[in-house]
Amino acid sequence: MIMRVTTKMLSQSLINNVNTNLNRMEKYQNQLSSGRLIDRPSDDPVATSRLLAAKSDLKAQEQYSSNMKDAAGWLDTVDGALESVGNVLQRAREIAVTGSSGTLAQASMGALADEVDNMVAELVQTANSSYADKYLFGGGKSGRTPFEVAGRDNHGRITDIQFISADFDKSLLAETYSRKIEIEAGVTIDIACGKTVFHTDTNGNAEINAVFNKLIELREKLDAGDQNAINPLISDIDKYIDNVLSERAVGGAKSKRIEIAQSRLSAYELNLTDLVGKLEDTDYAITFTSYTSQKTIYQASLAVGAKLIQPSLLDFLR
Amino acid sequence: MSLFFGINIALKGMMAQQTALNVTSHNIANANTEGYSRQRVNLETSVPISGLASAGQLGSGVDIAEIVRIKDEFLNYQVRKETSRLENHIAVSHTLQQVEAVFNEPLDTGFNEQLSQFWNSWQELAKAPESSPVRTVVKEAAGSLTDTLRQMSAQLHEIKDDINSQIQLAIKEVNSLSTRVARLNDQIVNVNITGQNANDFMDARDLALNELAALGNISLTDCLDANGKPTGAIEVKLGNITIVDAAGAHEISSSDINPDAVTDGELAGLLQAGGNSGQSNTVQFYIDKLNTLAVGIAKSINDIHTTGKDLDGNSGQDFFVFKDNEGELIDLTAVDWNDPWSSGLSAANIYLNANIENDVAKIAASKQGGIFLEGNGDIALAIAELKHTLMKYDPASQMLTNSNAGNLSLGAFYQDMIAELGSAARETGKTVKNQQTLVDQNIKRRESIQGVSLDEETVNMVLYQHAFDASAKVISVMDEMMDTIINRLKA
């Protein structure tokens, strides 16, 4: 059947079609000028929810990445500090060996005692090292220096070291020393490494300032010239050295773990960034092509429209 | 057979053609009038004279039978029905678009981003629990989180209120249209009594009916007189409510309007979008989800925060609090967590605890008191880990709780909601587009039948003009014949 066509139909169709074309053009223009593929969730609900999930995931990964950088920096600093603790103990061992050999004059013994006293002072300084304003071996107390010289004898030699406070109890050591950091979703790592190095006795039990006390004891024995008493100290110091080494091993393992996690994370982060970009950003090549072709269609519909609505039978009568 | 008889035939012809030309003129004049349907003159031969001529009946010329409007009732019904549906979907679609604008996703300023920043601030706090600047960052992130929740909730409520005022406006419009239809009914009945067609009045009534159909689903019945004949008036029902009958218009009020009464049209769409059906095309759906999210966040964080110790060594307070209409704090210990809604907890009244707002030392980041309290960030870490803790959503109580049997995180709950909103808005948007095409097609078909074609009218004009000319010529010929008889025939 031939449809009866009226002038109003023609103009209405024209308006509808031109509008549809303009609408499409507006969409592309919007994507081009904003650079965003999705303006509101209804543009693409599935992509929107993926995008939101990816973005919050990415934010979290950035946080984990920063956490890991902090953790790695902390562990490196701890390792450095423990290394110097090990060196000090190594030297103390040598002194103890020399002191116990029985060939030294009392004056030489006194010189060795002086050196050990300096070592104690040096060790206090090392034990007070900090990273980003936080004391490495200070537990949770970060506002004040954890190790302080609490007593000296008549010759100005250190006789007592105080950890945190005079009434600090060793039972507090375990829980107060944790410093947990999340490195992956649900994976935390305790970076409070080397926390027990100064506070473990030769039997592996908790004893506040065990290492300092041992060195002070060595210094006292050297002062007294008691060679026989120095001898057993050597094996004690050996145990402390072992202790430091095993703590360093623990720290190293943690560093390694973070390093592995970091490399995995950076690959994941890259993928996520890529995904977010793909979901969110306008692909200019494709969109601009679509835009141009849409523009051509729009212009054509306008041109045809202008020709279409003009003529009527009246133009040809008479 | 007198010569004057022939002149009379020609005269009737001229008069008929002139009337036809008038109708053509009326058509052309109204070619662009909204709701106008073209009219046509139905001509018929007038009653012939019998028994005068031996050859048989002699034609006596032309009469105008009637002037009718060209109308396709079925198409009109279709247009009304589809328009009702279209306006229904448009009302829902507009509302969902407004809701989309409230959430403002997936922009970098949306809630999703703020929630991420909030969790990250706790991570930072876990690393530096004693740092006052870091604590302030947590406070700021929490403040902007609650601000956004309250703002989004307020905006959603505004949309809902707006729907109610739109319903009032629509009802006003229905009443004004039904009055117009009733008035036109009267006018049509009066014209019909004289035996004529009230073409233009009927067009005006159809137009009013189309506007009514946009507002709600209407059904029409012809009013009958005592003899069972149509009077020309129609009875109009909006859904199941009679708004116009033979007696006149009946005003409706908002109490008459409910989803059972009106099932289509803008009114139905507004009722749907503003209703409590629990479906994703209602505003209430998003208000509820937002409440679930706000209370879920507050409860799970408070539960952990209150087990911690602040910098002064005191136990943690509730991190988030809720205020009632008078601005007083709601006692969270008295809340039934299977139904926190009855206690007035919602996204509209969630706040950061004012004590924490005023003093960031009150953030309980530490697990323990005592000497090492300030350096411990276990509680901050536990809160940060809520980011990926799977929560359990109970549809019955609409509560999101931190339990072992969970399957979605707080962030995922929000993202799911946005996805649902996107799908709902996209679906209705598509339906509107399709329905618009359907309506356009129906209107086009109606226009094809009822509309004025200028070409056609021009042809008719020429046709009628020629017939008029010819009739005039007949008179002139008759006149000459008369002249011949009277003046030339000289005995």
Whether the CB-CB separation of B138 and B122 falls below 8 Å is answered with: yes
Closest Cα partner for A176 from B124, B308, B364, B368?
A: B368
**Residue B427, pLDDT score:** 95
Render the burial of B437-475: b for 16+ CB within 10 Å, e for the rest: ebbeebbbbbbbbbbbbbebbbebbeebeebbeebeebb
Q: Find which of A194-198, A228-232, B456-460 is predicted with most confidence, using mean pLDDT.
A: B456-460
pLDDT digits (tens, 9 = 90+) for B153-208: 999 999 999 999 999 999 999 999 999 999 999 999 999 999 888 999 999 999 99
Of residues B322 and A177, more confidently modeled: B322
- The percent helix, strand, coil of chain B (3-state, each to 5) is 60, 15, 25
The number of residues making up chain B comes to 491
The amino acid that residue B70 corresponds to is I
Distance CA A239, CA A206 (A): 14
Distance CA A118, CA A75 (A): 27
**pLDDT interval class at A185 (50, 70, 90):** confident
Report chain B residues whose CB lies below 8 A from the CB of A56. Answer: 112-113, 115-116, 411, 415
Distance CA A250, CA A258 (A): 12
Tokens of B268: 């139905």
Closest CB from B100, B415, B458 relative to A40? B100
Distance CA B15, CA B62 (A): 9
pTM score of the predicted model: 0.86
pLDDT digits (tens, 9 = 90+) for A137-168: 877 666 678 888 888 888 888 888 888 777 77
Tokens of A207: 């004893």
Contact B458 A45 (CB under 8 A): no
**pLDDT interval class at B448 (50, 70, 90):** very high
pLDDT of A226 above 90: no
Most A-contacting residue of B105, B449, B454 (CB-CB within 10 A), to test interface: B105
Helices and strands (DSSP H and E) totals, chain A: 7, 6
pLDDT digits (tens, 9 = 90+) for A76-94: 999 999 999 999 999 999 9
Closest CB from A42, A53, A55 relative to B100? A42
In the block, residue with structure tokens 């809340």:
B335
**Residue B55, pLDDT score:** 74
What residue ranges do the domains of chain B occupy? Answer: 3-70+453-487, 95-158+277-433, 168-273
Distance CA A196, CA A244 (A): 9
Report chain A residues whose CB lies below 8 A from the CB of B443. Answer: 12
Residues 6+ apart with CB under 8 A from B185: B205, B223, B232, B233, B234, B244, B246, B248
> What percentage of chain A exceeds 70 in pLDDT?
96
Whether the CB-CB separation of A117 and A158 falls below 8 Å is answered with: yes
Distance CA B48, CA B63 (A): 11
Contact A180 B372 (CB under 8 A): no
Averaged pLDDT score across all residues of chain B: 92
What is each CA distance from B360 to A17, A254, B353, in whole angstroms? 61, 33, 11
> What percentage of chain B exceeds 70 in pLDDT?
99
Contact A9 B120 (CB under 8 A): no
Q: For the residues B357-381, what does the mean pLDDT come to?
A: 86
* Cα four-point dihedral sign B369, B370, B372, B375: positive
**Min distance A290 CA to chain B CA atoms (Å):** 21
Say yes or no: A67 contacts chain B, CB-CB below 8 A: yes
Tell me the residues of chain B between 338 and 397 that have a Cβ less than 8 Å away from chain A.
Answer: 366, 368, 370-378, 381, 384-385, 387-388
Q: For the residues A266-284, what does the mean pLDDT come to?
A: 91
pLDDT of B380 above 90: yes
pLDDT digits (tens, 9 = 90+) for A14-56: 888 899 999 999 999 999 998 888 888 998 999 999 999 999 9
Whether the CB-CB separation of B178 and B250 falls below 8 Å is answered with: yes
Contact B375 A280 (CB under 8 A): no
Whether the CB-CB separation of A254 and A194 falls below 8 Å is answered with: no
Distance CA A281, CA B486 (A): 98
Return the bridge partners of B391, or none.
B408
**Residue A132, pLDDT score:** 81
Averaged pLDDT score across all residues of chain A: 88
Q: For the residues B139-144, what does the mean pLDDT come to?
A: 95
**Residue B264, pLDDT score:** 92
pLDDT of A238 above 80: yes
pLDDT of A312 above 80: no
Whether the CB-CB separation of B267 and B216 falls below 8 Å is answered with: yes
Whether the CB-CB separation of A72 and A283 falls below 8 Å is answered with: no
Residue A313's Cα: distance from chain center in Å? 81
**Min distance B49 CA to chain A CA atoms (Å):** 40
Closest Cα partner for B233 from B250, B245, B217, B219?
A: B245
Closest Cα partner for B421 from A54, A279, A57, A48?
A: A48
Distance CA B142, CA B70 (A): 68
Distance CA A5, CA B30 (A): 16
Whether the CB-CB separation of B192 and B232 falls below 8 Å is answered with: yes
Closest CB from A67, A165, A168 relative to B127? A67
Residues 6+ apart with CB under 8 A from A227: A99, A100, A101, A102
Contact B454 A143 (CB under 8 A): no
